[in-house]
């Protein structure tokens, strides 16, 4: 039996492996899923992706299935409900940021028709394919994530620094950062 080569970052965690094999780096054009990734990447700031991924279903329940329309209407009662939810990461600034980002997300969608149209402009509407041979070659940010971060911040978004934007781009398949020997690397 031949062993399948893969990126090493998922380690032996089954949820991380499934995420790597089924989602990470797959070009995403669904507005609700793009918003979900934006929320989860914001909560990842300063933490490991593994921590966030293992709480993903709790986040989904707590944040109404990542429905930006509902989250944009959240009030103080919702904020307090989220702050008391032990199943998610209870960070005041990140919860407030998510509530604000939902409003900003809806404004972008109103302006561009879809968030997808807006966000993919930063890579010219296509996946940027890299040719990394080891994990330490993969950058934490790029000129594209710098531009995305700057524009999102100008539109009022929070927790959208260049590093978070680059992680979002990796997750949403805007960049292909699978290592060249990985079974998920496709050119």
- Encode pLDDT of 78-98 as tens digits: 999 999 999 999 999 999 999
Question: Does any domain span residue 172?
Answer: yes
- pTM score over 0.85: yes
DSSP E strand stretches across the chain:
128-129, 175-176
Pairing of strands 175-176, 128-129: parallel
Question: Does any domain span residue 115?
Answer: yes
Count the domains in the chain: 1
Band of pLDDT at residue 2, cut at 50, 70 and 90: low
Q: Is the dihedral of CA 47, 35, 32, 74 positive or negative?
A: positive
Band of pLDDT at residue 186, cut at 50, 70 and 90: confident
Question: Does any domain span residue 3?
Answer: no
Question: Does any domain span residue 19?
Answer: yes
Report the 10 Å Cβ neighbour count for 48. Answer: 10
pLDDT tens per residue, range 31-60: 999 999 999 999 999 999 999 999 999 999
Q: Tell me the average pLDDT across 128-138.
A: 95
Residue 134 has pLDDT above 60, yes or no: yes
Domain that holds residue 33: 14-176
Question: Does any domain span residue 8?
Answer: no
Q: Locate 174 and state its tokens.
A: 């805007």
Task: Supply the pLDDT for residue 120.
Answer: 98
CA–CA dist 145, 126 (Å, integer) = 14
Domain of residue 113, CATH code: 1.10.340.30
């Amino acid at each position: 039996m031949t062993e399948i080569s893969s990126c090493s970052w998922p380690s032996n965690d089954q949820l991380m492996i499934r995420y790597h094999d089924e989602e990470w780096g797959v070009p995403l054009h669904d507005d609700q899923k793009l918003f979900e990734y934006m929320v989860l990447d914001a909560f990842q700031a300063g933490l490991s992706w593994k921590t966030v991924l293992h709480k993903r279903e709790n986040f989904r329940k707590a944040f109404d299935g990542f429905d930006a329309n509902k989250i944009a209407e959240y009030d103080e009662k919702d904020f307090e409900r989220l702050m008391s939810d032990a199943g998610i990461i209870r960070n005041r600034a990140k919860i407030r940021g998510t509530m604000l980002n939902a409003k900003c997300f809806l404004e972008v969608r109103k302006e561009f028709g879809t968030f997808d149209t807006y966000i993919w402009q930063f890579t010219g509407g296509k996946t940027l394919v890299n040719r990394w041979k080891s994990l330490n070659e993969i950058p934490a940010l790029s000129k594209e994530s710098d531009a995305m971060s700057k524009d999102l911040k100008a539109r009022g978004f929070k927790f959208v620094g260049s590093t978070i934007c680059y992680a979002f781009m990796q997750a949403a398949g805007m960049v292909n950062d699978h290592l060249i020997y990985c079974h998920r690397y496709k050119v």
